[in-house]
Structure 1
Amino acid sequence: MFTNKKILITGGTGSWGHELVSQLLEKKPKEIRVFSRNESSQVSMSRKFENDSVLKFVIGDVRDKEAVFEASKGIDFIFHLAALKHVPVCEYQPLEALKTNVYGTQNVIDAAIANGVTKVINISTDKAANPSNFYGFTKAMGEKLIINANVLTDKTKFVCVRGGNVLGTNGSVIHVFKHGIKTKSKIGITDKKMTRFFLTIKDAIKLLFKATYESHGGEIFVMKMPTCKIIDLARVLIDQYSPDKEVDIEELGIRPGEKLHELLLTEFESHNTIVYDNEYFVILPTIPIEGLMEYYEDFPKVDLDTYSSSDNIISYDQIKTMLKDGGFLE
């Protein structure tokens, strides 16, 4: 699918972007444009991939419509990763989150349609499901814009992929815990009952490709992900990095807009959701999109009300295996 094609990645200098580029290069594309506003991150990333002429780095912001239009010229596929992602930042600066996560997404849609892009893949989050914070609200609006874009054109297809937390990304709890364990023998936990969805970055990108290959356009692919208690994750890391020294665990309390448990699928959405396979659910839209319902007519509907991080929690040993597989345990 990507052989000899041109690909644009917005917000491509983050953890998702690095892994996405690494796996895309194996598929022999003609060009990969990494579009982001951070000059130093682009320089650092260009050094990492310095021997690959396929990569082109473009300074720009998804808020800037002209820059997005220019970066999209001649492009076959767009992976839309650019977003303000940190919950507290979006809570205290909601207008900035709106500009990037909503207006920026609409700029990507308009540019893709104008330039005849084949498919746009929007990366979303579990926080878009029944949102309790402004970040979640903006990502939910972004999903709606992406899905609705399918009725605006017959040429470009738009699809969302919704996932939970990806282990080891920038600002990940893994890095925060390891730093606290090694330097202070102390870590902070929001709430000892808190649960989250987790997946390694390599597995997340593989699932992202699957949705890209197999999507029709107009749906939301929901990654099935392991869930664990944050306290259990912390204990695995403590046992690994401080086996002979006691580490204090401080309960900090839930931050503004934060949930105790996350959802990847809401009760409302479950009425329009099918079981795609053992790796994905697919949420079908409530608006009519030509050919979409026929595409999924033979798939079974989900037999659950919600898909919550408080269900099917993995054990200490399973968390340890997941961290080893992800390269987070030395």
Structure 2
Amino acid sequence: MAALYGSSFLITGGTGSFGRELVGYLLEHCDPRRISVYSRDELKQFEARNQFHDDPRLHWVIGDVRDRDRLRSAMRGVDYVVHAAALKQVDTAERNAFEFTRTNILGSQNVIDAAVDNGVRKVVALSTDKACRPVNLYGGTKLVADKLFVSANHAAAYQETRFSVVRYGNVLGSRGSVVPLFRELARQGRSLPITDKRMTRFWITLDQAVRFVVESLEIMQGGELYVPRIPSMRILDLAEAVAPAAPTHEIGVRPGEKLHEEMICPDDAPLVVRVADRYVVGPAVTSWGYLPPAGAEPVPDSFSYSSDGNDQWLDVEQLRALLAGVGPGAKG
């Protein structure tokens, strides 16, 4: 992380599960000059200040990504931005469509504008598997946000600031976890609710997600969408790993939910290359001198990356061993 060492950072949504893990990682590995933790919730900021023992390198900023002026002020002197703030609940989005639009789309544009105005070096935005061929409003807003960040490189082609996107699926160890629910129901001797017994998901821990984002921030040129190569799991195997022999029952796929996570669709295949532990979806059109990454291997024309078609799988014993080290468990 030599390129990031001693730099200043701003993290939107910085008091969420990912934000806190990222703050801890940067403090330990990058000796930052300053980390501005930007979020709306004063209680979460109070709790995070206590968690990090009021580390003097941390700068706490109450603000909303909907507020462009506040973002512009908060980004003064910042070298790198990680945009993690978003509204995320699928069912809530369907009932509050414009609120999700204001935060996930207009808020993302505000982050872009504030970064350009302040000459920030690099900005990485967090995406979601739900932005790939979206079937719900949340996914639709995140797809637009992804496109805004890639397109922002055109507007900033003759400036220093560059923008990229990182996309991954559900995270083990984040809030909204299904694993503690399974454990509690099993303790009570109750049946575990399974959305659909055919369901598969990718597996990534919070620590892995943070490391992947930081590595992407360091190597990005601008315009890339980075996707980690990670294993898949079957939901029934996860239930067995969490609560061996517990009974299960199907509750049906929820509105806007997919049976399998998809992070790259076949339509994007012409733009995709594989580089070591990741796939890189390059920009379709460039005006800022983008070059394919070193060591890039093209993928087949029909390539897609979904949890059911993966070439890496975790079995019950592997899941059980991994669960011992991920804290709260899996976001589901």
Q: TM-score range by the shorter chain?
A: over 0.9
- 2:209 matched to which residue of 1? 204
- Distance apart, 1:197 and its partner CA: 1.0
Do structure 1's residue 68 and structure 2's residue 67 form an aligned pair?
no
Aligned partners of 2:307, 2:150: CA distance in 1, in Å?
25
Contact 1:168 1:174 in 2 (8 A): no
Larger CA deviation: 247-256 vs 96-105: 247-256
Corresponding letter in the other structure for 1:203: Q
Aligned partners of 2:209, 2:168: CA distance in 1, in Å?
8
- 1:280 matched to which residue of 2? 278
Q: 2:7 aligns with which of 2, 5, 8?
A: 5
Corresponding letter in the other structure for 2:44: S
Do structure 1's residue 124 and structure 2's residue 123 form an aligned pair?
no
Please give the residue correspondences for 1:61-210 in structure 2 after superposition, counting only pairs within 5 Å. 61-153=64-156, 154-183=159-188, 185-210=190-215
- Distance apart, 1:123 and its partner CA: 0.7
Contact 2:275 2:295 in 1 (8 A): no
Contact 2:180 2:328 in 1 (8 A): no
Aligned partners of 1:296, 1:214: CA distance in 2, in Å?
9
- 2:268 matched to which residue of 1? 269
Instruction: Describe the shift of the 1:311–1:317 C-alpha distance in structure 2 as closer, same or farther (beyond 3 A).
Output: farther
Aligned partners of 1:198, 1:283: CA distance in 2, in Å?
20
Corresponding letter in the other structure for 2:145: G
Deviations, residues 202-251 of structure 1 (Å, cap 9, x unaligned): 11111111111111111101111211111210111012xxxxxx633221
Contact 2:272 2:281 in 1 (8 A): yes
Contact 2:15 2:45 in 1 (8 A): yes
Q: Between the two proteins, what is the percent identity of the paired residues?
A: 39
Contact 1:159 1:219 in 2 (8 A): yes
Aligned partners of 1:126, 1:8: CA distance in 2, in Å?
24
Larger CA deviation: 316-325 vs 260-269: 316-325
Corresponding letter in the other structure for 2:322: M
Contact 1:109 1:146 in 2 (8 A): yes
Larger CA deviation: 228-237 vs 103-112: 228-237
Q: What secondary structure is seen at the aligned counterpart in 2 of 1:89?
A: helix
Larger CA deviation: 202-211 vs 176-185: 176-185
Contact 1:12 1:36 in 2 (8 A): yes
Q: 2:18 aligns with which of 8, 11, 16?
A: 16
Aligned partners of 2:294, 2:242: CA distance in 1, in Å?
45
Instruction: Describe the shift of the 1:51–1:42 C-alpha distance in structure 2 as closer, same or farther (beyond 3 A).
Output: closer
Instruction: Describe the shift of the 1:101–1:250 C-alpha distance in structure 2 as closer, same or farther (beyond 3 A).
Output: same
Q: What secondary structure is seen at the aligned counterpart in 2 of 1:166?
A: coil
- Distance apart, 1:114 and its partner CA: 0.4
Aligned partners of 1:158, 1:199: CA distance in 2, in Å?
23
Contact 1:272 1:286 in 2 (8 A): yes
The normalised TM-score by structure 1 is 0.93
Aligned partners of 2:184, 2:14: CA distance in 1, in Å?
26
Instruction: Describe the shift of the 1:180–1:297 C-alpha distance in structure 2 as closer, same or farther (beyond 3 A).
Output: same
C-alpha RMSD of matched pairs (Å): 1.6
Aligned partners of 1:265, 1:19: CA distance in 2, in Å?
26
Aligned partners of 2:238, 2:58: CA distance in 1, in Å?
36
Corresponding letter in the other structure for 1:257: G
Q: 1:296 aligns with which of 288, 293, 311?
A: 293
The normalised TM-score by structure 2 is 0.92
Contact 1:97 1:135 in 2 (8 A): yes
Corresponding letter in the other structure for 2:33: K
User: Where in structure 1 do 4 or more consecutive aligned residues deviate above 4 Å?
Assistant: none
Contact 2:193 2:249 in 1 (8 A): yes
In the alignment, structure 2 segments of 5+ residues that lack a partner are: none
Contact 2:282 2:292 in 1 (8 A): no
Corresponding letter in the other structure for 2:293: Y
Instruction: Describe the shift of the 1:275–1:320 C-alpha distance in structure 2 as closer, same or farther (beyond 3 A).
Output: same
Q: What secondary structure is seen at the aligned counterpart in 1 of 2:221?
A: coil
How many residues align structurally? 321
- Distance apart, 1:108 and its partner CA: 0.1
Contact 1:218 1:289 in 2 (8 A): no
Aligned partners of 1:275, 1:76: CA distance in 2, in Å?
28
Instruction: Describe the shift of the 1:272–1:75 C-alpha distance in structure 2 as closer, same or farther (beyond 3 A).
Output: same
Larger CA deviation: 64-73 vs 316-325: 316-325
Q: What secondary structure is seen at the aligned counterpart in 2 of 1:91?
A: helix
